[in-house]
């Protein structure tokens, strides 16, 4: 049997995941995600796929993050006619994420047109990659499969999803044909994280494609994060300030809500402290979390589900829907916690809350997520004293605290631990993807030291013929 592997995205970088596994002449595309980064370069790569969509026989989606699902509408628009396999909760999250992406693209272009008109220039000649009208053509192709159920995705080719513990519904996958087992980690999560189960062992495999985001890093322990959040919030409460938490809508927001719920239940925070979740996307994604108890770990089941209690709702918590309600938080006179998106402070309602509170020495900005270079979030995390918000300069007088325990990706120690259970004598090749150069080379060296042979950093567009 012939198997080959080609990575068309997230090879030597972290966004734009697109991995083609070819088994006996059939092309199986695993993820079709959006490239993010420098605008012009990313746009070019997002418009022009490096393969013919009509040549893809079947597709798989590992999880609902934009850099894994965001280009499926382009794939379908350009001739893909197969099914897209994913878990039930991934189908729901990806639908929200693709629609959100379509809306952002449309409003970005409207903004650029308005700017051009103000300068008396002709409107720029750009079209969105896709609009909301394109999304139903994608979702109609979704075919959902539960974890650990072996599905025949093409004649004689099987796929099984295993919980990756990365975000709700996330999966590592094993493709199987003629006794050969080909594994892909998807985005690999961490052990002992709240809400989600630990990454699951997929059984022995012959080939493994492994993500490498934190191949050069170790995370702080999650157990101390709860104490640190409690202490920081209490100090701010006593000063009479507000806690602003920029948080990703998928996963991080729900982890933070769940953490505050536990702190309230354990009476570690004052009963009159109000907590607001102010982001329409975060509210929608939290609804998906509520519907998919089958993805929860034992801890959240014991504490909440068994008592028929909603883990994402408690009396001090309020979800903000309308713009008016969001604006009314500006005039709030008492201490409060505001959890809002976007996670990297590049857009969304969090910008208003930052602008409104950044000059208040009693307030606190709590950084709980990864902040990419050249974002406002990174400048805040670096404790710069002056920042620009909506084009205006602000002195940063509010306090700043970084928490490094929250991460949805395994560090190198956790990745190697995940792989320990594989039978090394069976595993013939490991391909590293989804990482920057330093993370990739350090992880390759660590794997070689740990006794794995044939560890290769996948080069973009290179086809590796395996058997
Ligand atoms: Zn992800």
pLDDT of 297 over the 90 cut: yes
- CA of 409 from ligand 1 middle (Å) equals 8
Q: What is the pLDDT of residue 20?
A: 98
What pLDDT was estimated at residue 404?
83
Of 244, 234, 228, 311, nearest in space to 272 by CA: 234
Q: What is the Å distance from ligand 1's center to 31 Cα?
A: 11
pLDDT tier, 220 (very low <50, low <70, confident <90, very high otherwise): confident
Output the CA 173–ligand 1 centroid distance in Å: 14
How confident is the model over 149-186, as pLDDT tens digits? Answer: 999 999 999 999 999 999 999 999 999 999 999 999 99
Tell me, what's the pLDDT at 346? 85
Can you give the pLDDT at residue 389?
94
Question: What span, in angstroms and rounded, lies between the C-alpha atoms of 69 and 167?
Answer: 14
Does the pLDDT of residue 79 top 80, yes or no?
A: yes
% of the chain residues with pLDDT over 70:
100
Question: If pLDDT is split at 50, 70 and 90, which confidence band does 244 have?
Answer: very high
Q: So what's the pLDDT on residue 397?
A: 98
Residue 375 near residue 338, CB atoms below 8 Å: no
**What domains appear along the chain, each with residue ranges and CATH number?**
3-217+408-465 (3.60.15.10), 222-402 (3.40.50.10890)
> Quick one: which H or E segment has residue 355?
helix 350-357
Phi, psi for 206 (deg, rounded to 5) = -95, -35
Q: What is the pTM of this model?
A: 0.93
Q: Ligand 1 centroid vs 319 CA: distance in angstroms?
A: 25
Stated as kind and residue range, the H or E segment containing 102 is helix 88-118
Lowest mean pLDDT among 30-39, 171-180, 422-431: 30-39
336 pLDDT higher than 90: yes
- Report the pLDDT value the prediction gives residue 372, as an integer from 0 to 100: 80
- The DSSP result for 242-292, as a single string, is EEEEE--TTTHHHHHHHHHHHHHHTT-S-TT-EEEEE-HHHHHHHHHHHH-
Whether the CB-CB separation of 98 and 69 falls below 8 Å is answered with yes
Determine the distance separating the centroid of ligand 1 and the alpha carbon of 86, expressed in angstroms: 14
Q: Helix 252-265 crosses helix 280-291 at what angle (to 10 degrees)? A: 70
Query: What is the average per-residue pLDDT within 203-221?
Result: 94
Q: How far apart are CA 195 and CA 168, in angstroms?
A: 9
In the predicted model, is pLDDT for residue 223 greater than 80? no
Q: 319 falls in which pLDDT band (50, 70, 90)?
A: very high
pLDDT band, very low/low/confident/very high, at 188 (cuts 50, 70, 90): very high
CA of 14 to the centre of ligand 1 (A): 10
Return the pLDDT at 421.
93
Distance 166 CA to ligand 1 centre (A): 7
Kindly report the average pLDDT of the chain as a whole number: 95
pLDDT at 432: 98
pLDDT beyond 90 at 40: no
Instruction: Give me ligand 1 centre to Cα 119, in Å.
Output: 40
Ligand 1 center to 171 CA (angstroms): 10
**Arithmetic mean of pLDDT, 254-274:** 96
């Amino acid at each position: 049997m012939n198997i080959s592997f080609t990575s068309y995205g997230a090879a030597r970088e972290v966004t734009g995941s697109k991995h083609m596994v070819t088994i006996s002449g059939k092309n199986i595309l695993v993820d079709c995600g959006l490239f993010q980064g420098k605008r012009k370069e990313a746009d070019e790569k997002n418009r022009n796929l490096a393969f013919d969509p009509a040549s893809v026989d079947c597709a798989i989606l590992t999880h609902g993050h934009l850099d894994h699902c965001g280009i499926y509408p382009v794939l379908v628009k350009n001739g893909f006619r197969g099914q897209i396999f994913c878990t039930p909760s991934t189908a729901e999250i990806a639908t929200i994420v693709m629609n959100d992406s379509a809306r952002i693209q449309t409003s970005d272009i409207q903004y650029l047109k308005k700017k051009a008109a103000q300068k008396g220039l002709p409107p720029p000649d750009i079209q969105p990659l896709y609009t909301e009208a394109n999304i139903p053509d994608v979702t109609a192709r979704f075919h959902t499969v539960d974890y650990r159920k072996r599905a025949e995705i093409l004649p004689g080719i099987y796929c099984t999803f295993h919980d990756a513990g990365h975000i709700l519904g996330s999966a590592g996958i094993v493709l199987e044909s003629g006794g050969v087992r080909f594994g892909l980690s998807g985005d690999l999560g961490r052990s002992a994280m709240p809400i989600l189960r630990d990454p699951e062992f997929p059984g022995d495999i012959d080939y493994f494609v492994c993500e490498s985001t934190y191949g050069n890093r170790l995370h702080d322990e999650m157990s101390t994060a709860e104490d640190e959040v409690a202490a920081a919030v209490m100090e701010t409460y006593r000063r009479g300030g507000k806690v602003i938490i920029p948080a990703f809508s998928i996963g991080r927001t729900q982890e933070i809500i769940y953490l505050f719920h536990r702190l309230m239940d354990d009476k570690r925070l004052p009963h009159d402290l109000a907590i607001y979740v102010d982001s329409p996307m975060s509210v929608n994604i939290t609804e998906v979390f509520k519907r998919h108890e089958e993805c929860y770990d034992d801890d959240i089941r014991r504490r909440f589900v068994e008592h028929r209690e909603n883990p994402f709702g408690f009396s001090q918590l309020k979800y903000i829907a309308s713009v008016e309600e969001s604006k009314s938080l500006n005039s709030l006179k008492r201490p409060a916690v505001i959890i809002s998106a976007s996670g990297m402070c590049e857009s969304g309602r969090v910008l208003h809350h930052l602008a409104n509170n950044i000059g208040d020495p009693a307030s606190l900005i709590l950084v709980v997520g990864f902040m990419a270079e050249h974002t406002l979030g990174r400048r805040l995390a670096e404790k710069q004293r002056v920042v620009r918000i909506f084009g205006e300069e602000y002195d940063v007088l509010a306090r700043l605290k970084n928490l490094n325990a929250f991460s949805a990706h395994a560090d190198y120690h956790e990745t190697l631990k995940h792989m320990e259970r594989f039978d090394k004598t069976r595993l013939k090749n490991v391909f590293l993807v989804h990482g920057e150069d330093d993370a990739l080379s350090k992880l390759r060296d660590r794997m070689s030291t740990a006794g794995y042979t044939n560890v290769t950093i996948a080069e973009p567009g290179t086809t590796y013929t395996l058997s």
